[in-house]
Structure formats: structure tokens, C-alpha cells
Amino acid sequence: MPQFGFSISQPRAVNLDTNDTVPAERILQEVPELQCCIACGSCTATCTAGNLTSFNFRRMHTLVRRGEYREVYEQLEKCMLCGKCRLVCPRGINTRAVALKIKKTLCDY
């Protein structure tokens, strides 16, 4: 079939009516303090991986909480679990555990 260079864009909107929040709930049960994230971006600012690649940890765990997992698992491959993010979090979130749980939970996703 000839290709004319056209494609159909997938909808970009996050749809909270249809998204599956079960994996997110599982992660939040293990690290409930993630719920009090104020999105300050300290974790991303200090992140070694984030300084060298497009990895944005703040955005990744927010996506997870909205039930969006598509790009997250792949992105989290960049995390080296160094734990610097945990040192700087003003809300006392164990961000390293968050990264670990996301990796573990989304493994079978």
C-alpha cells in the first residue's frame, strides 16, 4: 500500500474515567507519603539521570498517579536508584522507594 505521509494522532488527553488506577493504588499503598507531593521539582533538579537525559522523575510519578504508565517504565530504566532525590524532598517522601515500586509494579504491566 502506498504511504502518503499521513497519520492519525492518538488522543493525548489523560482520561480519568477510563484509566486503570489499580497499579497506582498499589504503589501508593506502599509509599503513601507520595500523595503529599507538592511538585516542587527538587527530586528532578538533583537527579543525576535527569541532568544528563530527558528523565524527569517528578513528571514520571505524577503520570503514574494519573494512571498513565506507557512511557514511565521505559523512562525509569534511567534511574540508578542513587537516592539523592530522597535527601532533598521537603515532604519527606521516600522517593527512592517510589522509583523502586514503580519499576516493580510496572514490570508485569
Partner 1 sequence: MENKDKRVIVVGGGVAGMQTALLLRERGAEPIIVEREERLGGKLAGWHKLFPTFTPAGEVLEPLRGRVAEAGIEVRTGRTVEEVTPTGVVLNGGERLDGAATVVCSGFEVFNARIKEEYGYGIYDNVFTTVDIERMMNEGRVRTAQGNEPRRIAFLHCVGSRDEKVGAHHCSKVCCITGVKQAIEMKELFPTAEVYNFYMDIRMFGPGYEELYRKAQLDYRINFIRGRISEASQTIDGWVQIKAEDTLIGRPLRMSVDMLVLIVGMKGGASNGAFARSGGLTVAPNGFMQPRDAFFGNVASERDGIFYAGAVTAPKNIGECLNEGAAAAERVAAYLKL
**Quick check: 54 binds partner 1 (CB under 8 A)?**
no
The window from 10-18, 45-53, 82-90, 99-107 that contacts partner 1 (CB under 8 A) reads: 10-18
User: Are 48 and 84 contacting, i.e. CB atoms less than 8 angstroms apart?
Assistant: yes
Site for partner 1 in 66-105 (CB under 8 A): 66, 68, 91
- Which listed residue (39, 80, 81, 87) binds partner 1 by CB under 8 A? 39
The window from 1-9, 31-39, 42-50, 95-103 that contacts partner 1 (CB under 8 A) reads: 31-39
Distance, in Å, from the CA atom of 88 to the CA atom of 43, rounded to the nearest integer, reads: 7
Distance, in Å, from the CA atom of 95 to the CA atom of 42, rounded to the nearest integer, reads: 11
**Quick check: 7 binds partner 1 (CB under 8 A)?**
no
Among the listed residues 54, 38, 34, 48, the one whose alpha carbon sits nearest the alpha carbon of residue 81: 48
Q: Which cell goes with 92?
A: 519527606
- Which listed residue (1, 13, 52, 107) binds partner 1 by CB under 8 A? 13
